């Protein structure tokens, strides 16, 4: 009978602070040192700091001062760090490298503020990538951005929050979507959306963000005063889900029962591919602050679902995300938020917002394919003074 592997260590720093040495930057440094992330770096290594620069209008993306602290620590370890992310599939403020860099600059991610350059990992138009062989359930190969593959080591900074398709977005999603070019993002979504004409108000909010021009107005055939409703051309649709994000009336949907599980599995497999060739070369830090219901790709920031909790670090992205999910669910939900139910401690907060999601599949499949383990040991590195 084979032995079970030991739980992965997840280091935790509580968000509370009552002295100068307990601020968030000192907590990041304490986590970095406790996890031994300096050992991931050899002198002169090109070291990627993978994070999300935030969409225009969003203000709960990770602060550039957090990235600056990680850059400082990587330099002290001998690394040559750069900040990176990939272009978006949807049309917005990060659809190509020029717009992406302008958005990053507007949000404070500049060499002057973070101490390192910003490099868009998949190039000007998302065409700089290579295939990585993984031989998993859904994919034999995955498309990963060149700059991610070329970096010798990587620190992945993730804002842990909700996501209307993934349930939650943490380290796994940051790797999966954030390290993939447009082609890889298409591979992962691979779902087709439709509009319920009875719910559609013909507001047009879904039309502009569609990167394929797949949405148009058609004559309304039902009863009522309106003359038109939105329609999605399934031949043009690439499944990015932006129409779902922008619709305020629940008119856009997919077959959640059939589609959402495979979507979560495809994300896990892409995450595996992003770090497959970086064994013992990747560290992960998740931030449980501003735990909003939506991804930072949204052009707004809603009220958090639960109060701020802390910052966590690990060498295992699966254990890290599992620990974050458990900590969020253990909290009392905030009444003045998008939560309609599941506010009580112990209830699944993200399903309280997005009931159709299958976050457990994301974690379970990631464990099954060898990305990490859902078993973890939480180690507190910075207890605040009373």
**What gap in Å lies between CA 242 and CA 214, rounded to an integer?**
11
User: What is the pLDDT confidence band of residue 83, given thresholds at 50, 70 and 90?
Assistant: very high
Residue 245, pLDDT above cutoff 70: yes
Q: Which range has the worst mean pLDDT, 59-73, 221-235, 256-270, 282-296? A: 221-235
User: What is the pLDDT confidence band of residue 209, given thresholds at 50, 70 and 90?
Assistant: confident
Look over the chain and give the mean of its residue pLDDT values, rounded to a whole number.
94
Span 185-205, mean pLDDT?
A: 89
Span 107-113, mean pLDDT?
A: 98
User: What is the pLDDT confidence band of residue 383, given thresholds at 50, 70 and 90?
Assistant: low
Span 339-354, mean pLDDT?
A: 97
Share of the chain above pLDDT 90, in %: 82
Q: Which range has the worst mean pLDDT, 41-55, 155-169, 215-229, 289-303? A: 215-229
Q: What is the pLDDT of residue 3?
A: 46
Q: What is the pLDDT of residue 221?
A: 80
Share of the chain above pLDDT 70, in %: 97
Q: What is the pLDDT of residue 92?
A: 84
Span 14-19, mean pLDDT?
A: 94
Span 233-251, mean pLDDT?
A: 85
Residue 172, pLDDT above cutoff 60: yes
User: What is the pLDDT confidence band of residue 90, given thresholds at 50, 70 and 90?
Assistant: confident
Report which of residues 248 and 256 the model is more confident about: 248
């Amino acid at each position: 009978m084979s032995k079970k592997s030991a739980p992965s260590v997840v280091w935790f720093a509580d968000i509370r602070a009552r002295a100068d040495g307990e601020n968030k930057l000192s907590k990041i440094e304490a986590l970095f040192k406790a996890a031994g992330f300096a050992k991931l770096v050899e002198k002169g290594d090109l070291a990627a700091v993978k994070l999300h620069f935030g969409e225009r209008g969003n203000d709960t993306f990770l602060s550039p001062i957090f990235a600056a602290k990680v850059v400082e620590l990587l330099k002290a370890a001998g690394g040559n760090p750069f900040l990176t992310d990939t272009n978006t599939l949807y049309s917005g403020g990060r659809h190509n490298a020029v717009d992406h860099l302008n958005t990053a600059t507007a949000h404070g991610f500049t060499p002057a503020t973070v101490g390192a350059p910003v490099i868009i990992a998949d190039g000007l138009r998302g065409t700089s990538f290579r295939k990585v062989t993984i031989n998993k359930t859904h994919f034999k190969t995955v498309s990963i951005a060149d700059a991610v593959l070329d970096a010798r080591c990587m620190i992945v900074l993730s804002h842990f929050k909700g996501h209307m398709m993934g349930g939650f977005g943490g380290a796994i999603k940051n790797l999966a979507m954030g390290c993939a070019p447009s082609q890889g993002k298409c591979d992962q979504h691979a779902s087709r959306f439709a509009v319920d004409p009875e719910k559609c108000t013909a507001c047009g909010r879904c039309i502009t963000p569609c990167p394929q021009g797949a949405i148009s107005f058609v004559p309304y055939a039902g009863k009522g005063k309106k003359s038109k409703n939105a329609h999605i051309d399934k031949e043009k649709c690439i499944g990015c889900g932006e129409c779902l994000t922008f619709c305020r009336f629940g008119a856009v949907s997919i077959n959640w029962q059939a589609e959402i599980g495979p979507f979560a599995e495809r994300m896990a497999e892409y995450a595996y591919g992003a770090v497959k060739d970086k064994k013992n070369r990747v560290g992960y830090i998740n931030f449980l602050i501003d735990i909003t219901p939506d991804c930072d790709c949204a052009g707004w920031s809603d009220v958090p679902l639960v109060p701020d909790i802390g910052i966590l670090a690990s060498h295992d992205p699966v254990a890290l995300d599992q620990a974050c999910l458990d900590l969020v669910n253990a909290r009392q939900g905030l009444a003045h938020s998008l939560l309609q139910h599941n506010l009580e401690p112990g209830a699944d907060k993200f399903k309280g917002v997005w009931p159709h999601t299958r976050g457990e599949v994301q974690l379970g499949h990631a464990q099954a394919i060898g990305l990490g383990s859902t078993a973890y040991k939480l180690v507190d590195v910075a207890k605040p003074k009373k």
